[in-house]
Amino acid sequence: MHTVLRSATKTVTIGHDQPFCIIGERINPTGRKQFQLQLRANDLSRLAIDVEQQVSGGADVLDVNMGVPLTDEPALLGRAITMIQTLTDLPICIDSSIIEALQVGLETYQGKALVNSMTGEEDRMDQILPLIKKHGAVIIALPNDATGIPMTVAERMTITEKIVRTVEKYGIPLEDLVIDPLAMPVGADPDSLKVTLETIHSIREKWGLNMTLGASNVSFGLPYRHAINAAFLPAAMSHGLTSAVMDARTPLIVEAVRAADLLLGLDPWGSNWITRFRALEASKAALNTGA
Amino acid sequence: MHTVLRSATKTVTIGHDQPFCIIGERINPTGRKQFQLQLRANDLSRLAIDVEQQVSGGADVLDVNMGVPLTDEPALLGRAITMIQTLTDLPICIDSSIIEALQVGLETYQGKALVNSMTGEEDRMDQILPLIKKHGAVIIALPNDATGIPMTVAERMTITEKIVRTVEKYGIPLEDLVIDPLAMPVGADPDSLKVTLETIHSIREKWGLNMTLGASNVSFGLPYRHAINAAFLPAAMSHGLTSAVMDARTPLIVEAVRAADLLLGLDPWGSNWITRFRALEASKAALNTGA
């Protein structure tokens, strides 16, 4: 199954037979006090740095979240999207929990957007899916509902089934649905990621859907987080994860993903890998000669 | 299923509910010209350095191979094992393709040894399994035979079935059998490691056997090999690999393994991970203060 995302000029395809899709996560004020103050003052200049860092780090898509309390989030998100589309041709993932913000985001965006995210509660689906249908966008859906985050594979599969049926009911093709199988911090529950990996495996077996998740989350609260995230992604990819919302600024993690592409036959004969390695060697050589 | 290895004083348990077992691979003259010359001159002094590097890097077991052309390999292997057992209390994996060398190795070794390795050909099994039985050792078996290395999961499963039956026929308990599911260089065949991962998954499902493989092999011929090996092991572990013959000198790869332990619930609450991190921080601090 191929999930297609587009900006005005560029297409990105997510699929089990495609290299992994890195959705850069950093364009988000959560936990960034200085950036929040700037956004409250309607100052979007920081976006240029964040976009550049994610793009040069190797992001394929950019997640854009403008959730700052005490601001007009829909207006801010619309302006951010317009600005980012002048800075890069990468497709955008419009990230908000506020329906009006998603609406303005989708109206502003030039292309076929990814939308982050929707839970499996019926009222949420009935609010968001008509927007997805109208704009021909792609929705990320989480298999949790009003009862909370289910901790078994069976429960996650049941809610995913409900989401699949509702998406079909709205006449949205299943390739425009991406499931987030839910990755919780392993420091809070040693067995939680085994459930995530099995859920990924089962969703791939049953529907062949594309999947994404927040990859930084898994190491929350533990030391030396990059190494944990770098080990998690190849494992999740080998079970069928096709995309992740992650920070593209850390070479260790991006390299783990590109190495896993190679190991899983998604970079035949290592042509991407070797290109990446040569670029790295060239930049080292340039540094050494002062060029 | 628990596979137990012992030296004179230390026990190591391999299992799907245990932290991954790192079998240090470096005590081997293959590709090391200087070391080969020393061994031909009966000089085993280099072993002290190799053992120290693998042990301090985090090996749980040491693979010992003394395969040098134009030497008396059985005698050399016997001397090496005696010497190594004075240097470390880690169990040893006796590695040779020569029956007489395995025989001398097993007679010399103090403890319950791992033996590397046996193919699924009947004459090889009939030579090696009586030795394994006699010494109560553990055998690594490869699901290939006279026809070569099978490239499908089904063929590897068929040969594994034959190995399982033969091992049972000799009255050897299945926990003393470790299967090597065969990892070939991904640079030679883009799909080869998908076959390996599926084989691992199937063997775990069908028999619950422990497994090991030569992990350095997968990146052969490609640049930036450490990153490829570091991505491969967490993926293989997530499918059921419980051990690997690998070089413990590279922190990137050892950390990938220990992070995967944590992610797979084999290091509950990260106690090993945090201990490792603190030791790393302490050694950095000592360097910085000149202590």
For A265, the closest of B194, B259, B260 (CB atoms) is B194
**pLDDT exceeds cutoff 70 at B291:** no
pLDDT at A288: 75
Q: Collapsing DSSP states into helix, strand and coil, what is residue A43?
A: coil
Share of chain B above pLDDT 70, in %: 99
Secondary structure (3-state) at A7: coil
A13-22, A60-69, B205-214, B278-287: least confidently modelled range: B278-287
Other CB atoms within a 10 A radius of the CB of residue B148 amount to 7
A200 phi and psi angles, rounded to 5 deg: -60, -50
Distances (CA, A) of A99 to A106, A109, A111, A132, A142: 11, 15, 19, 11, 16
Task: Give the percent of chain A with pLDDT over 90.
Answer: 92
Contact B263 A186 (CB under 8 A): yes
Distance CA B31, CA B49 (A): 17
Alpha carbon separation from B260 to A194, A235, B19 (Å, rounded): 11, 8, 9
A205: three-class secondary structure by DSSP: helix
Q: What average pLDDT score do residues A270-291 get?
A: 82
> pLDDT class for B277, splitting at 50, 70, 90?
confident
Instruction: In whole angstroms, give the CA distance from residue A79 to residue B77.
Output: 72
| A234 to chain B, closest Cα gap in Å | 5
Whole-angstrom distance, CA of residue B37 vs CA of residue B43: 9
H/E stretch holding A14: strand A11-14
- Give me the mean pLDDT over the A63-73 stretch: 94
Taking 70 as the threshold, does the pLDDT of residue B189 lie above it? yes
Mean pLDDT of B78-100: 98
Chain B interface disruption, residue of A184, A219, A228, most B CBs within 10 A: A228
Q: Tell me the CA end-to-end span of chain A in Å, nearest whole number.
A: 45
Looking at residue A148, the DSSP 8-state letter turns out to be: B
- For residue A265, list chain B residues with Cβ-Cβ distance below 8 A: 186, 190-191, 193-194
Fold topology of A3-290: TIM Barrel (3.20.20)
Rg of chain B in Å (alpha carbons): 19
Give pLDDT tens digits for A186-218: 999 999 999 999 999 999 999 999 999 999 999
CA distance B252 to chain A (A): 8
- Which pLDDT value is given to residue B79? 98
- Would you say the C-alpha torsion B216, B219, B225, B227 has a positive or negative sign? negative
Report domain extents, chain B. Answer: 3-290
Query: DSSP assignment of chain B, as one string?
Result: --EEEE-SS-EEEE-TTS--EEEEEEE--TT-HHHHHHHHTT--THHHHHHHHHHHHT-SEEEEE---TTS-HHHHHHHHHHHHHHH--S-EEEE-S-HHHHHHHHHH--SB-EEEEEES-HHHHHHHHHHHHHHT-EEEEES-BTTB---SHHHHHHHHHHHHHHHHHTT--GGGEEE------TTT-TTHHHHHHHHHHHHHHHH--EE--BSGGGGTTSSSHHHHHHHHHHHHHHHT--EEEE-TT-HHHHHHHHHHHHHTTSSGGGHHHHHHHHHHHHHHHHHHHT-
Helix, strand, or coil here: A42? coil
The answer to whether residue A290 scores a pLDDT higher than 80 is no
The percent of residues above 70 in pLDDT, for chain A, comes to 99
**Which residues of chain B make contact with A230, given a CB cutoff of 8 A?**
230-231, 256, 259
| pLDDT for B279 | 84
Please identify which residue in the block is written with the tokens 């009586």.
B130
Please give the structure tokens belonging to residue B82: 């005696």
Q: In this prediction, what percent of chain B has a pLDDT beyond 90?
A: 92
Res. B234: pLDDT tops 60: yes
pLDDT value of position A152:
97
Measured distance CA(A259)–CA(A251) in Å, rounded? 12
Q: How confident is the model at residue A163 (pLDDT cuts 50, 70, 90)?
A: very high
Distance from CA of B235 to the nearest CA of A (A): 4
Q: Please tell me the distance from the alpha carbon of residue A250 to that of residue A253, in angstroms, as a whole number.
A: 6
The answer to whether B184 contacts chain A (CB < 8 Å) is no
Task: Point out the residue among A222, A224, A263 whose CB comes nearest to the CB of B232.
Answer: A263
Hey, what are A216's tokens?
A: 């930084």
Question: Distance, in angstroms, between B206 CA and closest chain A CA?
Answer: 17
Q: What is the mean pLDDT of residues A80-84?
A: 98
B residues 213..272 contacting A (CB < 8 A): 218, 222-224, 227-228, 230-232, 234-239, 255-256, 259-260, 262-265, 267-270
Contact present, B132 and B105 (Cβ < 8 Å): no
pLDDT at B287 over 90: no
pLDDT of residue B181: 98
Best mutation target, B16, B196, B213, B228, to test chain A (most A CBs within 10 A):
B228
Predicted confidence band at A57 (pLDDT cuts at 50, 70, 90)? very high
For chain B, the first-to-last Cα distance in angstroms comes to 45
What pLDDT is attached to residue B81? Answer: 98
Q: Which of A278, A261, A249 is nearest to A54 (CA)?
A: A249
B18 lies within 8 A of chain A by CB: no
Burial of B260 (0-12, 13-18, 19+ CB in 10 A): buried
pLDDT tens digit sequence for B127-144 = 999 999 999 999 999 999
pLDDT in the model for residue B290: 61
Q: What is the pTM of this model?
A: 0.96
Test A238 with B237 for CB contact under 8 angstroms: no
Half-sphere exposure of A101 (CA within 13 A, CB side): 23
Give CA–CA dist B257/B244, Å, rounded: 10
Strands B3-6, B11-14: parallel, antiparallel or unpaired by DSSP?
A: antiparallel
Give me chain A's average pLDDT, please: 96
DSSP state of A145: B
B259 contacts A232? CB cut-off 8 A: yes
- Helix/strand/coil for A26: strand
Q: Say whether B224 and A273 touch across the interface (CB within 8 A).
A: yes
Structure confidence at residue B281 (pLDDT): 84
Residue B90 burial (CB < 10 Å; 0-12/13-18/19+)? Answer: buried
